[in-house]
A and B are shown apart, each in its own frame.
Chain A
Amino acid sequence: MSKRLAVIVSQGPGSNPVKRQLEEDIVTGLMFSPNVEVTVIPNLYDLRGDSTGMLALQGIAGDMVVCSWMFERAAHWILDRNGMSGRVGTTLLTNDAPDDEDEDEEDEEAIDAKPRVNERREIANRWIYCLDLRTCGSAQAFIDEVLRIQSELNVRVVRLGAGPSVGRPTREQLQRFESPTNSTGLARNGSGLANATGGILADAGEESEANPPAASINRIEESSGRRWYPVIDYSRCTNCLECIDFCLFGVYGIDRIDTILVEQPDNCRKGCPACSRVCPENAIIFPQHKTPAIAGSAEVGASLKIDLSQLFGAPAEGKSAEEIAALERDEQLVLAGRDAVGMQGLEKRRPARSKASDRDELDDLVDRLDQLNI
């Protein structure tokens, strides 16, 4: 049996025809790619832990490419929460400039040595690549990226098999790879491998095999209502427990080794992202929130579009993240028939490190407006 790459297409919530078209074009485009197994699921974020869709994903043991209508981080940590951990594969299909990302990683390592929850968790030995379908409108770009990832994964295996030598494998190594002398050899899988090593295989006298297995496509259709709950990024979370203190709706809990987790996601109040604002590490993601920093953007990137939210009724400016969070929490308490608590529990907080990154484009805009003096 050839090793197949699992590609998951998570449908957008709602039935936006433009989105549906892109999803279907990607599925169709991958249909003829050998060694790809496509699973189409309803919106990943809305799937419950015991849903058919989630169970299908949990049945996938190997590497995964997940295409969904949310930031890469959001998808990755939704999977993680549902028992599908893995190493973060880096996609080239992203809005973020790669240079920035590198700098960021260095910065984080250099400046703060705070232990992150992720460092003491067991991560499954596989790669998970999350692609944000909002990145680009071309199905071909996503198909190409899936094929590139497939090659990359094969190269990884080849490199591991090739031992200490770095770079191009020797002809001898390739031969050994072609005809393994032990039972641990990687199953040959046709064009994916050919892509992976460029012209090298051709040099070694290999041609693509006849009848490559076409992709298999699983469609999981189930109706699930829209959900709203926080997703924790454990690579940022320090287990400071500010969120469990702040949330008065019992969303958060502690596992057996005293680690924070989202225990009762459906206790969360729809539309309320307040705990994300009080998280000092910006580790709490609400994938459907409009502010990129809250929705799981790796960077707070400038939007390409004019943001009219302020004109259409966005809450007043000039408040700190904590003040906004307190207001949002009060709003939900009152809606639930409880008493507002104001800044309770937030008075003595040190200024959150993430405050600068909590600013969204509107904050910047307002600052610029003040300077413009029109």
Chain B
Amino acid sequence: MSDHQTFMMGEFAAEFPTDRQYADNHMWALSRDNVVRFGFTAYAVRLLQDVYFLDWLLDAPARLSHRQEIGSIESKKAESALYAPLAGELTIFNAELLADPSAINVDKYGSGWLFEMNADLNGLMSAAGYVDHLETVWEKTQRTIKGQLNE
């Protein structure tokens, strides 16, 4: 068994470690010691490319509902609001990223983590399940990007 799953974004191979779970808003979730750490998947980072700014709307700790808007991210070419992957209590943000978000690009599955939550992981996907999910949304993703580039 491989320790990761792969999804081809055109020429680019996005890899997803199988040691963790995945949310449909393209965040990974890794449980340890009763808290769940979240970060961006390779798919998200590939879409964003060079991240240069990350901002959170809230101070930790904060109770979140699923899909609540919690912050925003900006890269050279793209921007996005960020939403809670699950309902639960957000306990801490990765403070290092606020001063320098480059770890998101350099080490997305490690030091580039975003925040930690106390949350019930029901509803998250395995790496294989996430790849299946990406198969179904890849078309829409491409159209979203092309639609905006054609302006």
Q: Are A313 and B85 in contact (CB under 8 A)?
A: yes
Q: Does A110 touch B at the CB level, under 8 Å?
A: no
Q: Does B143 touch A at the CB level, under 8 Å?
A: yes
- Chain A hits for B143, CB < 8 A: 369, 372, 374
The stretch among B76-84, B104-112, B121-129 that forms the contact with chain A is B76-84
Tell me, in angstroms, the Cα distance from A303 to B72 when the chains sit together. Answer: 14
Tell me, in angstroms, the Cα distance from A164 to B9 when the chains sit together. Answer: 69
Q: Does A334 touch B at the CB level, under 8 Å?
A: yes
Type the 1/0 row for B39-71, where 1 means its CB is closer than 8 Å to any CB of A: 000001001100011011111001101011110
Q: Are B67 and A308 in contact (CB under 8 A)?
A: no
Select from chain B the residue with minimum beta-carbon distance to A225: B59
Q: Does B33 touch A at the CB level, under 8 Å?
A: no
- State the Cβ distance, B144 to closest chain A Cβ, in Å: 6
Tell me, in angstroms, the Cα distance from A302 to B85 when the chains sit together. Answer: 27
Q: Is the interface of A mostly helix, strand, loop or mixed?
A: loop
Give the number of A-B contacts (CB < 8 Å). Answer: 102
Q: Are A311 and B62 in contact (CB under 8 A)?
A: no
Q: Are A307 and B99 in contact (CB under 8 A)?
A: no
The stretch among A8-16, A100-108, A245-253 that forms the contact with chain B is A8-16
- Chain B hits for A348, CB < 8 A: none
Q: How many residues of A contact B (CB 8 A)?
A: 35
In B95-151, the 8 Å CB interface with A consists of 98-100, 137, 140-149, 151
- Chain B hits for A369, CB < 8 A: 143-144, 147
Q: Does A226 touch B at the CB level, under 8 Å?
A: yes
Q: Are B98 and A15 in contact (CB under 8 A)?
A: yes
Select from chain B the residue with minimum beta-carbon distance to A291: B81
Tell me, in angstroms, the Cα distance from A288 to B56 when the chains sit together. Answer: 10
Tell me, in angstroms, the Cα distance from A290 to B83 when the chains sit together. Answer: 12
Tell me, in angstroms, the Cα distance from A331 to B55 when the chains sit together. Answer: 22
Q: Are A270 and B58 in contact (CB under 8 A)?
A: yes
- Chain B hits for A310, CB < 8 A: 144
- Chain A hits for B15, CB < 8 A: none
Tell me, in angstroms, the Cα distance from A303 to B32 when the chains sit together. Answer: 39
Q: Are B69 and A308 in contact (CB under 8 A)?
A: no
Tell me, in angstroms, the Cα distance from A308 to B148 when the chains sit together. Answer: 10
Q: Does B25 touch A at the CB level, under 8 Å?
A: yes
Interface size grouping (class) on chain B: 35 or more
In the complex with contacts A13-B55, A226-B58, A306-B148 CB distance below 8 A? yes
Tell me, in angstroms, the Cα distance from A302 to B149 when the chains sit together. Answer: 12
Tell me, in angstroms, the Cα distance from A369 to B99 when the chains sit together. Answer: 37
- State the Cβ distance, A195 to closest chain B Cβ, in Å: 35
Tell me, in angstroms, the Cα distance from A53 to B55 when the chains sit together. Answer: 23
Q: Does A315 touch B at the CB level, under 8 Å?
A: yes
Select from chain A the residue with minimum beta-carbon distance to B141: A311
- State the Cβ distance, B94 to closest chain A Cβ, in Å: 12
Q: Are B99 and A15 in contact (CB under 8 A)?
A: yes
In the complex with contacts A311-B141, A374-B143, A18-B57 CB distance below 8 A? no
Q: Are A17 and B100 in contact (CB under 8 A)?
A: yes
Tell me, in angstroms, the Cα distance from A293 to B137 when the chains sit together. Answer: 28
Select from chain A the residue with minimum beta-carbon distance to B40: A312
Tell me, in angstroms, the Cα distance from A335 to B63 when the chains sit together. Answer: 7
Q: Are B57 and A306 in contact (CB under 8 A)?
A: no
In the complex with contacts A290-B72, A372-B147, A312-B80 CB distance below 8 A? yes
Tell me, in angstroms, the Cα distance from A315 to B84 when the chains sit together. Answer: 11
Most buried by A among B55, B69, B70, B72: B69
- Chain A hits for B141, CB < 8 A: 311
- State the Cβ distance, B28 to closest chain A Cβ, in Å: 14
- Chain B hits for A309, CB < 8 A: 79-81
Q: Are B148 and A307 in contact (CB under 8 A)?
A: yes
Q: Are A271 and B70 in contact (CB under 8 A)?
A: yes
Q: Are B79 and A314 in contact (CB under 8 A)?
A: no
- Chain A hits for B57, CB < 8 A: 226, 228, 270-271, 288
Tell me, in angstroms, the Cα distance from A288 to B79 when the chains sit together. Answer: 15
Select from chain A the residue with minimum beta-carbon distance to B63: A335
Q: Are A331 and B47 in contact (CB under 8 A)?
A: no
The 5 A-B pairs with the shortest beta carbon distances in the complex, nearest first, are A313-B25, A313-B83, A308-B80, A306-B78, A290-B81
Give me 9 other A-B pairs in contact (C-beta within 8 A), A271-B58, A305-B78, A306-B149 excluded. Answer: A14-B98, A270-B57, A307-B80, A308-B79, A308-B80, A311-B47, A312-B25, A313-B25, A374-B143
Using CB atoms and an 8 Å cutoff, list the residues of chain B in contact with chain A.
Answer: 24-26, 44, 47-48, 52-53, 55-59, 62-63, 65, 67-70, 72, 74, 77-83, 85, 98-100, 137, 140-149, 151
Please, could you name 11 A-B residue pairs with CB atoms under 8 Å apart, sorted by A? A13-B55, A14-B98, A18-B52, A226-B57, A289-B69, A307-B148, A308-B47, A311-B137, A312-B82, A365-B148, A372-B147
